[in-house]
Amino acid sequence: MGTYKGAFFWLFIVSLFFGITIPKNGACETPGTKKNSLLWKVSGKGLKPSYLYGTFHLVPKEQFVLPSKVTQKLEKSETVVFEVDLDSPKLTRLLSNSMRMSKPIETLMTAQDYNLLSQFVEDSLERSLQQFRYIKPGYLGQLLLYPKLLGYNPESYDLELLNLAKKARKTVYVLESPEEQVALFDKTTLESQTSQLLNSVKQFDRQRKLMKNMLNLYQQEDLAGLYALIMSQEDGEESQKLMLEERNKKWVTPIINIMMKKPSFVAVGAAHLPGKDGLIELLRAQGYKVEPVLE
């Protein structure tokens, strides 16, 4: 992978591993669709007219479509804001170092579970687990499973928007440092990561269905449905607090400060937008008008 896709692949791993795990029974059905938008206009209180857009970090190549309304609003903005610097070799380097552990993965599970995992990797992915034994389970699960779900050359909305911003010579800002991104991995134990990895393997077909439902909701621009699906997962509330709420509250002031200076286009994962502690409601609570862009 190049620097961009390499860095963002690991960022995608963070969001999926901590935010989307195995669904509760019956929760894998797609919630009812609702007219909505992934693109929102932010204005009021002297703010330069700006936009907030929810991305899906990686999608199968054949399902990638970037609406014209999105590119048009980005072109009219002077500043473009992302979660993290995807052009940072430092991020890739830190993540590469962070993924390694001092003990082999078989010490984190029973011999029976290790054999199950090893057989799955060999049969389903045509790989040998031996070469991955010292990679943390949180990384390993997504490294092995998500290419199977997304294809081996997925597209990224964030990367496409970054490329457009660079071509148009826009000013680019980020909301988190490489160190802050990597620190997210240390907020869950190896034991918890191992449990989630084994559950993903044991219920891989359900995981595939979950991914399909997420992509369908995203393509329908159904933020409410996507948020409901995330919250229906096991440990959904805990994951929401770690991956969404805490970061949203940290981001909202920098976002406002950037928008106050110049018309801006902010692109973050779609799950950061909805909910009472989502960026839409946090901006409204500060007195700003946030309205969907429907066309």
pLDDT (tens digit per residue) in 209-247: 888 888 999 999 999 998 888 777 655 455 566 678 889
What angle is formed at CA 86 by the lines to CA 81 and CA 92, rounded to 5 degrees?
A: 150
Tokens of 220: 């329908």
- Look at the alpha carbons of 36, 42, 45, 49 in this order and tell me if their dihedral is positive or negative: negative
pLDDT (tens digit per residue) in 143-196: 777 777 776 678 889 999 999 999 999 999 999 998 988 887 777 788 988 988
The structure's pTM equals 0.85
Q: Which of 131, 185, 143, 176 is nearest to 158 (CA)?
A: 176
The domain in which residue 191 lies consists of 3-292
CA 165 to CA 82: how far, in whole Å?
11
Number of domains in the chain: 1
Beta-carbon neighbour count of residue 276 at 10 Å? 9
**Residue 161 CA to its chain's centroid (Å):** 15
User: Average model confidence (pLDDT) for the chain?
Assistant: 83
Q: Between residues 11 and 127, which one has the greater pLDDT? A: 127
